[in-house]
Amino acid sequence: MDQVKATAAFVANRSSHVVVDSAGLEKVVENIQDKIPKIEWDFEGIHYFDNGPLTVQYLFVLDTLNFCFWPDKNLNYDDLASGLKEALENDKSVFDADHLQKITGLQLRNLLKWPRPLPLEDERVRLLHEVGFELERSFGGQASNLVESCGRSAAKLVATIASHFPGNFLQFFIINSNSIDMYLDMVVCEDTTVNLQGYFNNDCTQLGCFRLSRPLCLQRPPDFLV
């Protein structure tokens, strides 16, 4: 978790166009405190859940494929999540590590019942191959073994995934000639910790980018495009 905080602090301290509005952030916290209803992670019913190893394997495949948004006007994340759920319900071995290493774009398309090539299909398939290879090499083919190796620490889970799957969950960008890590594994970590409620220690906060009311927490120039 220290790496995530260090990256966020580096960017925030050097930001010149968009800055955190501390007063606005405090106001948001005051407004939403004790007012957020409890919503189950899969309240829509589109995700696979069996409270066991297959759920973790499903989440790794889902978040690997969902490494960026889906520029398809008719098919989106919900179709991806429900398609993977149906595939796993029909074949419990479909996300085994050896299968992931050999899957083709056409096979993935058929698995999801997607009528045309997926957006960035070749890249999504490549990332699945990497996940399958590393899970088999280091964790006996099971994402659940990776989770167990972190000793109930969500912060260690972030670091472990980033170190073993840098091509999948660790990206970078450049600010003032400095390479800044972007920890996409926070998404799969959050999905995992929410599903395995009570398993992890409280050493990692939830992913904030989709949860906070950003217009109330950030300041930007009037002509700054978002």
Half-sphere CA count of 23, side-chain side, radius 13 A: 1
Token output for 70: 């889906």
Token output for 33: 């405190």
Report pTM. 0.74
Residues 169-222 have pLDDT tens digits of 655 555 666 555 554 545 666 666 666 665 666 655 554 455 444 555 677 776
In DSSP terms, 20 is beta-bridged to 218
In DSSP terms, 179 is beta-bridged to 174
Residues 130-184 have pLDDT tens digits of 999 999 999 999 999 999 998 888 788 888 888 888 766 655 555 666 555 554 5
> Is the pLDDT confidence value at 82 over 90?
yes
Residues 38-75 have pLDDT tens digits of 656 666 789 999 888 999 999 999 988 987 777 788 88
Alpha helix (H) ranges present in 34-153? 53-65, 77-90, 97-102, 105-112, 121-139, 143-148
Evaluate whether 184 touches 162 at the Cβ level (below 8 Å).
Answer: no
Amino acid at site 146: L
